[in-house]
Amino acid sequence: MPDEAFDRHLIRYGMPFVPHLIARARGTLLWDANGKEYLDFTSGQMCATIGHNHPRIIEAIQRACESALHLYSGMLSQPVVELARRLAALLPAGLSRSMFLSTGGEANEAAIRMAKLTTGGFEVVGLAGSWHGVTAGAAASTYTGGARRGYGPSMPGTMAIPAPNAYRCPIRHCSGTCDTTCMDVGFDMVDAQSTGAMAAVIAEPILSTAGMIVPPPGYFPKLKQKCDERGMKLILDEAQTSFGRLGTNFAFEKLGVVPDFLTLSKALGGGTALAATITSDDIEADCHAKGFVHVTSHVSDPLPAEVGLAMIAVMEEEDLGARSERIGARLRAGLETLQQRYECIGDVRGMGLLLGVEIVKDRHGKEPDAATGRAITMKAMELGLSMNISGSSSAGGMSAVWRVAPPLTTTEDEIDRGLAIMEDAIKAVLAR
């Protein structure tokens, strides 16, 4: 546990504190107060997509310090206007209007509110195991284990459908390859529960907190069709999948579907607090005509918008999508080699530089082994590699999955070094 000297006045919020203060961060590396170096294979909280303290991000913050950091919410600055233009240029015509907030939860909250307003409905469908935030509306559509327990009733009208987990089919129907029957079963249950006031479906392209679940090809076009048949809007939460991490600017470009709402966060801010809710001209105009209100203290702040512009510039200039595919292939090959060597690795999955490694007691039974997963994670940290373990109580029991998502600027040598530390940690734990 952390020394009482630095954590005794802090509220604990659901994850253990690392037992050393972090003093500095650059690129893929962290150093604690004692000078020990760590490789960061989670990009901070999945936000330092172009590495920690990238020089262009520092320059952007310095520019903001010479102009404006924060303004009255009704005032606009040039960085905010330009960031909206840049995003519109990157996105298809149906995603042309942006609203800039601080966190992914806020962005999802705004999208849910707009979807309810424009449709006139209030029922929102999410996927089991999902994570969309901790504010009221977003939390109501978050279906990850302890995130819901003990807080009383959630928003009326929220429902979940099974996540398309091919490794652990939630309806015990398929094995290895999802045929999307789980979606049909889920919507049968939604239709049975609906009061006829359906508003939206909210989903992540890859369900990260659920254990890095990758829906099969064709899943999202089918999901959009289900929405259209019911007059619902599709919200895609690309907190972790945008800006090159999967090899393209946005995950939906790989999915064959354009959502009604796109929410961005994490990577957009390059390590600062920035999120966006994006929708079409028509939906924005309809919501505006109906009196849409969603004012926060830091909506349209100039400092994070300046940083967002710098992050997009780096992504394009360094072609980080292509780099993610190349470095991600090297990382995945290394993880699959470890899978061949160690029985405790049941599955390796994901895309680009967003990968998951499921830890099991044995591959035949596929029983999750969270204790071993946590022990290896802690040993890796001791050896100089920061990664985290995630999982959901949905879809077939508690999973134990390493989330491996280093910055897109990570070098091949750093990938190899991280893989070597993982193997040393596995060996040490299994030898106990």
Instruction: Check residue 432 and give its pLDDT.
Output: 83
Share above pLDDT 90 across residues of the chain, in percent, rounded to a whole number: 86
What the chain holds in terms of domains, given with CATH numbers, is 4-53+319-430 (3.90.1150.10), 57-317 (3.40.640.10)
State pTM to two decimals.
Answer: 0.95
- Mean pLDDT of the 217-223 span: 97
Known active-site residue 403:
yes
Q: What is the pLDDT of residues 320-363, one digit of tens each?
A: 999 999 999 999 999 999 999 999 999 999 999 999 999 999 98
Active-site position among 40, 106, 109, 204: 204
- Mean pLDDT of the 105-131 span: 97
- Mean pLDDT of the 89-117 span: 97
On the question of pLDDT at 313 being above 70, the answer is yes
Active-site position among 168, 266, 332, 379: 266
Instruction: Check residue 47 and give its pLDDT.
Output: 95
Instruction: Check residue 145 and give its pLDDT.
Output: 65
Q: What is the pLDDT of residues 170-198, one digit of tens each?
A: 999 988 899 999 999 999 999 999 999 99
Instruction: Check residue 280 and give its pLDDT.
Output: 98
Active-site position among 131, 224, 260, 369: 131
If we measure between CA atoms, which residue out of 400, 320, 315, 377 comes closest to residue 352? 320
Structural contact between residues 236 and 251, judged by C-beta atoms closer than 8 angstroms: yes
**Distance of CA 12 to CAs 29, 106, 165, 188, Å?**
25, 21, 31, 40
Share above pLDDT 70 across residues of the chain, in percent, rounded to a whole number: 97
pLDDT classification of 395: cutoffs 50, 70, 90: very low
Query: Phi first, then psi: what are they for 11, rounded to 5°?
Result: -80, 130
Instruction: Check residue 147 and give its pLDDT.
Output: 79
> 286: number of CA atoms within 13 Å, CB side?
13
Known active-site residue 237:
yes
On the question of pLDDT at 249 being above 60, the answer is yes
Instruction: Check residue 398 and give its pLDDT.
Output: 47
Active-site position among 233, 323, 379, 403: 403
How far from each other are the two terminal CA atoms of the chain, in whole angstroms?
A: 21
| Angle value at C-alpha 258, between 256 and 262, nearest 5 degrees | 130
Question: What average pLDDT does the structure give for the chain?
Answer: 94
Instruction: Check residue 391 and give its pLDDT.
Output: 60
Instruction: Check residue 396 and give its pLDDT.
Output: 38
Active-site position among 240, 301, 323, 379: 240
Active-site position among 106, 109, 123, 237: 237
Known active-site residue 240:
yes
Q: What is the pLDDT of residues 8-60, one digit of tens each?
A: 899 988 888 888 899 999 999 999 999 999 999 999 999 999 999 999 999 99
CB atoms within 10 A of CB 16: 11
- Mean pLDDT of the 67-87 span: 97
What is the 3 state secondary structure string of the chain?
CCCHHHHCCCCCCCCCCCCCCEEEEEECEEEECCCCEEEECCHHHHCCCCCECCHHHHHHHHHHHHCCCCCCCCCCCHHHHHHHHHHHHHCCCCCCEEEEECCHHHHHHHHHHHHHHHHCCCEEEEECCCCCCCCHHHHHCCCCHHHCCCCCCCCCCEEEECCCCCCCCCCCCCCCCCCCHHHHHHHHHHHHHCCCCEEEEEECCCECCCCCECCCCCHHHHHHHHHHHHCCEEEEECCCCCCCCCCCCCCHHHHCCCCCEEEECHHHHECECCEEEEECHHHHHHHHHCCCCCCCCCCCCHHHHHHHHHHHHHHHHCCHHHHHHHHHHHHHHHHHHHHHHCCCEEEEEEECCEEEEEEECCCCCCCECHHHHHHHHHHHHHHCEECEEECCCCCCCCCCEEEECCCCCCCHHHHHHHHHHHHHHHHHHHCC
Instruction: Check residue 393 and give its pLDDT.
Output: 44
